Amino acid sequence: MSFKELLPLLYKNKTLEVSQEKWIKYIGKGQINIKNEIYTLIVTVNKRQLIFDEKNKFIDTKPLIINNDRIIK
């Protein structure tokens, strides 16, 4: 996957679906099965608040402030 293909994820609420081959080996049976799996990529907020510009493009982050197990800012 190229960097150019990931660029749409810089915009708020955008997702990207990617198909990938997954090889499953069954050594006891002497088989290998190939299965296509779809992965959905999305920007998540875990430890930092995302900052977007006026066009909803991601530009920066700032830390979340937590007090007594609650996010206050």
Residues 44-57: tens digit of each pLDDT: 887 888 999 999 99
What distance in Å separates the CA atoms of residue 33 and residue 44, rounded to the nearest whole number? 32
Residues 12-66: tens digit of each pLDDT: 999 999 999 999 999 999 999 999 999 999 988 878 889 999 999 999 999 888 8
* Tokens standing for residue 9: 């994820």
Using CA atoms of 65, 68, 70, 72 in order, give the dihedral in degrees to the nearest 10. -40
Tell whether pTM > 0.85.
no
What distance in Å separates the CA atoms of residue 19 and residue 41, rounded to the nearest whole number? 11
> Strands (DSSP E) along 1-73, which ranges?
15-26, 31-42, 48-52, 58-63, 66-67, 70-71
State residue 66's pLDDT score: 84
